[in-house]
Amino acid sequence: MNDRVYSMLSGVALLSTIVLFVLIDIYSDLLLHWSEAVLFHFGYVVPPTFADLLTLSSSLSPFAYVFVIIISLINYRMVTASPSWTLLSLAVFSVLILNGFIEHIWLRRGVFFILFFPVTLFFSLQARDYIKANAQDIVSQRLLLFFNTIFLLILLIPGFYLPPFFDGIAGWALNKKPSGYNITDIRLKFDDGHVEWFRASFYNPITMGGRSFGMVKRRDSGFFYSEEFSCYLYDLYGKAYSSLEKRKLPTQAILGDYSYPPHTFDSFPESANYFPADRIHSFQYVRVSKSESQMNEDVLFEWEINVNTCNK
């Protein structure tokens, strides 16, 4: 491709981004109305969260538009002149700043996908030409071209994911005042009768809530409901307790508050009171449902602990 084509692509990317910003920033109510009308026409009910995706809590800052133009100019310069580390560093730095001015993750991804399409395509084609000219045989050439394509897709499809600047998973949010919730998880019951959650960070390094015990339950339900599994939980808790008695999570054992957070959002609650492992009476597999008016709690299964067995 020649410079003229890249210039056109850069111009289209800039114009498309500005139009997208204007639509979301100014005409979000109209977009929402049209979207609801279309979905209703085809017999679909619009989910309540759909409105949140098209509505900003405040207007976009003028700086968002400014940095879109700056990034477009930098990218244009990189594809029409000699690329340099200085320009690339400026582009990445501008992305980090612009990221703070865009509220919705999906909008960030859409904007970065559009803005960086020309420059990513440019470098991908440059890499392709280099591979074709320097690969020693056809097998190596095809393999390198395959990985080049994968790299291009990884950069573009999620919305220009440039490691290590990942900006989270779309849809994740923390509702400070939930009207209700449903939880199915494992908790500890101590010898004085009080209970505490067996937190996802206790499974370190697999710290996604529900994944560890859920994977065991799906693959080997017999082991999940066995005494051996309760001893596994007992051992995990014993390893975690050295941190818990300092009122830290197991993932904070070395770096403390500066540790990288667990996969599932977690913290040490002020009200939590975790006892030593030898004071565990049982582990409970429970389902807790809460609505605005009531809370229901069901113990689905309970493993009573035999400390002598687990300490063997």
In this predicted model, what pLDDT tens digit does every residue of 28-61 receive, in sequence order? 777 777 777 777 777 666 666 666 666 676 778 8
Task: Give the angle subtended at the CA of 100 by the CAs of 172 and 150, to the nearest 5°.
Answer: 65
Higher pLDDT, 82 or 144: 144
Determine the Cα–Cα distance for residues 282 and 83; give it in Å rounded to an integer.
Answer: 63
In this predicted model, what pLDDT tens digit does every residue of 48-57 receive, in sequence order? 666 666 667 6
Q: Where are the domains of the chain?
A: 3-156, 181-310
Give buried/exposed letters for 256-295 (b at 16+ CB in 10 A, else e): eeeeeebbeebeeeeeeebbebeebbbbbbbeeeeeeeee
162: exposed, middle or buried (Cβ count in 10 Å: 0-12, 13-18, 19+): middle
pLDDT of residue 163: 47
In this predicted model, what pLDDT tens digit does every residue of 225-269 receive, in sequence order? 999 999 999 999 999 999 999 998 888 888 888 887 777 777 788
Average pLDDT over the chain reads: 81
In this predicted model, what pLDDT tens digit does every residue of 80-120 receive, in sequence order? 777 677 887 888 888 888 877 887 777 887 888 888 888 88
Confirm if 144 and 152 have CB atoms less than 8 A apart.
no
In this predicted model, what pLDDT tens digit does every residue of 271-298 receive, in sequence order? 899 999 999 999 999 998 888 778 889 9
Is a pLDDT exceeding 80 seen at residue 175? no
Q: Residue 210: pLDDT band by 50, 70, 90 thresholds?
A: confident
243 contact partners, CB below 8 Å, separation of at least 6:
249, 250, 252, 253
- Residue 157 has φ and ψ, to the nearest 5°, of -60, -45
Q: Residue 165: pLDDT band by 50, 70, 90 thresholds?
A: very low
Residue type, 212: S
pLDDT of residue 233: 93
2 contact partners, CB below 8 Å, separation of at least 6:
none
pLDDT of residue 79: 80
160 contact partners, CB below 8 Å, separation of at least 6:
95, 109, 112, 113, 115, 116, 120
